[in-house]
Amino acid sequence: MAAATSSTSSPLHLYSSKSRLSLNPLPTSPTHNTVSFFSSPSSSFPLSLRSHCRRRPRGRRLGRSNAPCISCFSLSSTFPISYEFTDGSTDMELRLQLGGIEVPSPRNISVDADETSLAIRLKDTKAGLLVTLMETASLFDRIKSSETIWYLDDDQLVINLKKHDPDLKWPDIVESWESLTAGSMQLLKGTSIFIVGESTEINQKVARELAVGLGYTPLNTQELLESFAKEKLDLWATDEGLESVAEAEAAVLEILSSHVRAVVATLGGQLGAARRANRWQHLYAGFTVWISSTEATDEASAKEEAKKHIEERSVGYSNAEVVIKLQGWDADHSKSVAQASLRALKQLVLSDKDLPSKKTLYIRLGCRGDWPNIKPPGWDPTSADDGPMD
C-alpha cells in the first residue's frame, strides 16, 4: 500500500561518535515528498561581519520581561568568563562579565556575528594575539547580524542582538541540550513524540532521554505488549507470527495516539508496526522520528541515501517527519542522538508553527489516516477524496 506523503520534508542528521553533520530541509509540495538539504550551522564556519560599537549609551537597557538566564563556564584557557542573557522579545541582551580583564580601548574588542554564530575576541596588544572570550557556531536560532550593537558598561561587555523570529523565546544564547529541552516546550505544545526505527533498543534509549529532558512520560510498546501477553515478544512471534505482533502494537498505538506529553518508543525490525506503511494511521498523531543506521561517511552520501528511502517508500519509516542517521551505535551517545532529534524537531516546527494544532485536529477527527491533508468532518476513508480542510 502506498504511504501517505508529507507536505514537509524530513530534516536529516548524520551522527557519529567523532562528528555530527546536519542537513536542514526545504518545504516540498504535498504530492512530492522530496528533500532538499543545506549544510547546517553546526557544520559550517561562521562568516565574519562588522558589528557596530557604541560607547555605553546612558539610560538604555533591555527590558527585563523574562528572568535572565545566567551561565558560567570557561570560554578560554586564560579568562574564565560568565555571562548573563536576557530575552526581551525582539531584542536580546548578552552581558559578559569581564571582571579583572583589562580592556584598553573598545578597539581591542572584536565581535563577529552571522545569522547563527557569534565570536567575541579581545586583542592582546602586548602579545599581538586575539584571545577568544566567547565563540559559538550554534546560536539558539537566527539573528539579524547586521543589527548587532555592542558597548562597554563598566566591567561588562554588553551585546544587543535582534531576533529573526520575535515570537520565539530563547532560553539561552546557545543551542544546547538544556536550551533545546526548555525551548521545545513552547514549540511542541504537548504533542507526543514517536520514535521509530530498526532497533528497539535504540528507540527505547533515545525515547527515555527525550522524555526525561522534556518532562514527558516515557512509554515503550514492548513493555506494554509483554505486560499484556505475559510472555516475551519473540515467543509471541514464534507462536502466532510477526504480523500478529505488529497488529497488536498497532492497537496499542491507537490507544496512545490520544495521549499528550509522551515519548513513545516503538518496536524495531520485523515485529514493529512502524515498518509497515499501512500501520501509520495513529503514528501521525504525534511527531515521528526515524532513527536509521547508515554507512555514509559524509553529508552528500547521507543526503542521497535519505532521498532514495523517501522516493522508494520501501519501508513505512519513510513516513517519518524527522530522520536521524547514525554511524554505528553506542549507548553512551543516547543523549547526543536525542539532542539531534530535538534540534530537527525545532527546525520542523519553526518551518510550520501550525503543526502542533494540526496534530490536535487530526486526533480530534479520529486519526483517520488523512495526514497531512486533513479532510472535513464526516469524511469516510473508503470514499472518494473530498479534498483537504481549509
Name the grid cell of 138.
550554534
pLDDT of res. 17? 34
pLDDT of res. 363? 98
Which of 8, 28, 4 lies closest to 319 in space, CA to CA?
4
Report the distance separating Cα 188 and Cα 204, nearest Å: 20
Specify the CATH architecture of the domain 12-43+184-364. Answer: 3-Layer(aba) Sandwich (3.40)
Predicted confidence (pLDDT) at residue 370 exceeds the cutoff of 80: yes
CB neighbour class for 196 (10 Å; exposed up to 12, middle 13-18, buried from 19): buried
Which of 368, 355, 378 lies closest to 254 in space, CA to CA?
368
**Mean pLDDT (whole number) for 231-252:** 96
Region of residue 89 (phi > 0: left; psi between -120 and 50: alpha; otherwise: beta): left
Report the distance separating Cα 75 and Cα 189, nearest Å: 34
**Mean pLDDT (whole number) for 227-240:** 95
Work out the pLDDT band at 61, boundaries 50, 70, 90.
very low
Tell me where in the chain the CATH 2.60.40.790 domain(s) lie.
Answer: 52-162
SS3 139: strand
pLDDT of res. 294? 86
C-alpha distance from residue 389 to each of 96, 375, 378, 383 (Å): 50, 5, 12, 16
pLDDT of res. 295? 84
Work out the pLDDT band at 158, boundaries 50, 70, 90.
very high
Mean pLDDT in the chain? 81
Which of 336, 343, 331 lies closest to 287 in space, CA to CA?
343
pLDDT of res. 228? 93
Q: Write the CB contacts of 211 (distance below 8 Å, at least 6 apart in sequence).
A: 217, 218, 262, 263
| Cα torsion angle, 326, 331, 335, 341, sign | positive
Q: Which residue has the cell 546560536?
A: 139
Specify the length of the chain in residues. 390
**Mean pLDDT (whole number) for 42-50:** 28
pLDDT of res. 385? 58
The 10 Å CB-count burial string (b at 16+, else e) for 121-140 is bbbeeeeeeebbbbebbbbb
**Mean pLDDT (whole number) for 48-54:** 34
Q: What is the CATH number of domain 52-162?
A: 2.60.40.790
**Longest distance between any two alpha carbons in the chain, whole Å:** 79
- DSSP bridge partners of 21: 14
Work out the pLDDT band at 300, boundaries 50, 70, 90.
confident
Task: Count other C-beta atoms under 10 Å from residue 290's C-beta.
Answer: 27
Query: Which runs of consecutive H residues, i.e. helices, occur in 257-333?
Result: 299-312
The 10 Å CB-count burial string (b at 16+, else e) for 166-176 is eebbbbbbbbb
pLDDT of res. 389? 62
Tell me where in the chain the CATH 3.40.50.300 domain(s) lie.
Answer: 12-43+184-364
Report the distance separating Cα 300 and Cα 37, nearest Å: 9
**Which of 20-24, 293-297, 338-342: highest mean pLDDT?**
338-342
CB 114 within 8 A of CB 121: no
